[in-house]
Amino acid sequence: MATLTNRTEILFLYEIENANPNGDPLNENRPRYDSEENRVLVSDVRLKRTIRDYWYEYKGYNGTNGKDIFVRETTYQDGDKTYIVDGKRRAKAFQENKQTVLDQCIDVRTFGGVLPLDKDSITLVGPTQFQMGKSLNKTDIVTEQGTGAFASGDKKGQATFRTEYKVPYALIGFNGIVNEKAAAYSQMTDDDKALLLEGIWEGTKNLISRSKFGQTPLLLLTVEYNEPFYIGGLRQRLKLASDKNEMQLRSTDDYTLDVTELLAELERNKNKIKAVTVRIDPRLKTSHPLTNGQLSL
């Protein structure tokens, strides 16, 4: 199948309630946080992992029928012990062949990657890149403490303690780009792009772990261009309108998403735009009507 030919810009918003959107393992797994602005941060790696997990669990990219995810945890046996596969051993599963990896692995075609070889490596720049996500609202980090079900050791009279860190509510936004120039090298196709967009929305919705339950996709806006151009900073063109203090927001009932500047910028550049597509949760109130489907400019 032919590789994709049009550049696409992505704006993705999702909400999270009473959960941890992206824990920092070097900081007691607290949510990543911009303390200057009091806003939550989410790494692009977290979003890509969400998408990969969706492809693996729901779309059959699990190592069968020539469809796989390259960056996923696999194991091997050595005697009676089980070990996690490293990068070089993973590459050997594909005969250290770049084309075999590209043929089988949607994540390398979409996000790029490094194939570590015995004496060298192959680096593929991914067509799809995301900036670090950031919450549109200011929010606190809440500490929650409790006790575990088991004792801290044998013959102990007290259960273990646990500490968790959560945010009460955050509306998190991501900017992304799908670059047709890089797609020519990674062989990303239009079908891959469709699965990428599906994975962004459905992967976020189906991320039902203890720390992530409470995440819901609210808006996915894609801008397909008819030339090598993109507007940039779509998230930064959004504002929240509310009678409440930002720290008091707890649901979509508490605010309206002001899309005035975003729509004006799309209108200014409409001659360079092939299509704008919207997917929106009906609970999200916007300053201008947005409905599922093609946006008319």
Query: Is 221 part of any domain?
Result: yes
The dihedral region occupied by 79, where left means phi > 0, alpha psi between -120 and 50, and beta the remainder, is left
Query: Is 134 part of any domain?
Result: yes
pLDDT of residue 119: 83
Evaluate whether 160 touches 152 at the Cβ level (below 8 Å).
yes
Query: Is 65 part of any domain?
Result: no
Number of domains within the chain: 1
pLDDT of residue 79: 87
- CA–CA dist 133, 183 (Å, integer): 23
Pairing of strands 215-225, 8-19: antiparallel
pLDDT of residue 163: 84
Cα dihedral value 235, 251, 283, 221, nearest 10: 10
Query: Is 66 part of any domain?
Result: no
* Residue with the larger pLDDT of the pair 296 and 119: 296
Query: Is 252 part of any domain?
Result: yes
6-35 pLDDT tens trace: 999 999 999 999 999 999 999 999 999 999
Q: Which of 128, 122, 127, 224 is nearest to 175 (CA)?
A: 128
pLDDT reading at 156 higher than 60? no
Query: Is 119 part of any domain?
Result: no
Query: Is 148 part of any domain?
Result: yes
227-263 pLDDT tens trace: 999 999 999 999 999 999 999 999 999 999 999 999 9
- CA–CA dist 12, 177 (Å, integer): 11
Query: Is 146 part of any domain?
Result: yes
What's the pTM?
0.93
Domain hosting residue 17, numbered range: 8-58+125-294
Q: How far apart are the first and last CA of the chain?
A: 31
* Residue with the larger pLDDT of the pair 156 and 122: 122
Average pLDDT (216-220) is 98
3-state secondary structure (DSSP) of residue 241:
strand
